Structure 1
Amino acid sequence: MASKMESLILILLFLFTFSNGSITGGIAIYWGQNIDDGILTDTCDSNKYEIVLLSFLVQFGCDRQNKWNFAGHCGDWSPCTKLQPEIQHCQAKGVKVLLSLGGADVSAYDYGLCSPQDAKNVAKYLYDNFLSGQYGPLGSVTLDGIDFDIEKTELYWDDLARELDTYRQNKYFYLSAAPQCPTEPKIYYLEKAIQTGLFDYIFIQFYNNQQCAYSTSIGTSWLLQSWDKWASLVKSNNSIFLGLPAAESAAGSGYIPPEVVNSDVLPHIKETSNYGGVMLWDRFRDKDSDFSGKILPYVPKSNVLLQTVTAVSDTIFN
């Protein structure tokens, strides 16, 4: 067991690393829905992103054939093993790579769960094929987690979260959710799942919903009110991310100029105890706009991580 002095040295080295620049940059990006995203390795080599979300597994559940769509990056509807070295390259750089489930409510994306048993079956499929290191559709990879970008059907997502949680008792992986920003009258699609408290990251979509998104007429007031509501709703160990479109073309509404994000939004949200960072939709738009590059110096990493370090030091020295 490490001595208190050794533990102190480790904590100081951690904080020294943060003080030399890595305290900024808590940005998550969705990749895979446009061939002009560029290759995955280039995404990670940009050094802008902490998390990359492979989007999407678009068909699963209720005895459907499991299918994904990566918009021409590799063989959609067939094994995509060419991504194995790219995923492993990203992970070697410290970038977390998660598989995102679901996507937009369009006819080509046919997903949903039929029962708690169906959720159990889907969880096993996800673990065996993407999280275990066994050979699967993306090769022999161990992804860092699963993202729920669910935009239709309300049923059994909480069961899926619980079933996935049983698989990470021995080897931890992350769970994330990407709900839309409205909380009244309820959180659409993912309310019960989020209430489980099992999601490490919650990427809240502050766009395409006028009642909680930025607009030139209202400014940031509704967005910030919604953020504060979310901060009070989720557990303190769940990091909440500000989900934004990386360009005006990326969403129907809710685009915020990066200078407004830096001056009017980040100073408020980064004080929230469960602040996690910024999520952007998507890599294709971000490549052209460099939205991430414009906000990166102002985006601190997760408060939850810093709180964990503080808690560890308190445990050691008290």
Structure 2
Amino acid sequence: MARRSKQQEPESLRKELIKLLTNFEYELQQGDLRSKVLSLVPAHDLLRDLGSSLIPKEHASSARDRIIHYLQKYPRTVIDGNELMVVAGIGEWARRVRELRVQFGWTIVNGVTAKEMDKEGEFPLDNIDVSKIGPDDYVLINEEQDRDAAFRWNKANEIRRKNLSVLNKILEYMRFNVGKQITGEELRYVANNKSEWARRVRELRTEYGWPVVTKTTGMPDLPVGMYVLVEDRQAPEHDRVIPDPVRRTVLQRDGYKCQECGWHHEKWNPSDPRHLEAHHVKQHAEGGANTEENLITLCNICHDNIHRRRVKR
């Protein structure tokens, strides 16, 4: 069984560690390799104890608690995995990070997921240069714990085992969680960790007309890295294939408000779960272009009403 680190007074541990390393001078002069290795084991244990003791026991007593305590002190900051290893004081620190994400609902994104999100423009944190993030780096995106996460991850595990395409796995998971915030880590997991997952999410929105919104594509008050399927319906074919950069510019230009009734996401409630869409002034089916000049922001209710009136005419 792996040794657990022991939280003690850091200064006493430091002195004990110095004493051990000073005495190691004698071992270096000896010829037996195993004797040298065995002499370093206590120093290795002391170093782990010292790392775990940097966070007082009354604040965090377990390795998992120390990791989230450390991440909460530095939210939306790139944290090297080695830092988490030090404060955890155990060799299985990476498993504890996964537990925090899967079982306890903390939105912790690793470097691989961050890069895949950034390719689709879904990681807009100005203080982070995604190109410099490594696979063993971590970022706590949201400081609020999602207590429904464990239930969602169980469903994600069920869907990822199905014999479906990556796109259809993601769509099934989103439709199961309509109206709920889903993390990029969840979607990557559903997709069996295939790097194409972020591109498939974009395709669901821009090619298949599913109202998947993010912070940059319709719901600016969403935390970075969150995805929401706001309604279980596809947009009409003529209102699909709008490039995300164009859609984003139109929403920003119109102040994220419906230009017909003035609805915006601050008015959202469960009895009126609207969302914003981009509408062609001149219909796409009639040659209307996917340009900023030919698009305006409408809520889905007004959007449907306009198209209904056009059909009647």
Do these two structures clear the TM 0.5 threshold for a shared fold by scoring above it? no
Q: TM-score, normalised by structure 2?
A: 0.26
Q: TM-score, normalised by structure 1?
A: 0.25
**Quick check: which one's strand share is greater?**
1
**Quick check: which one's helix share is greater?**
2
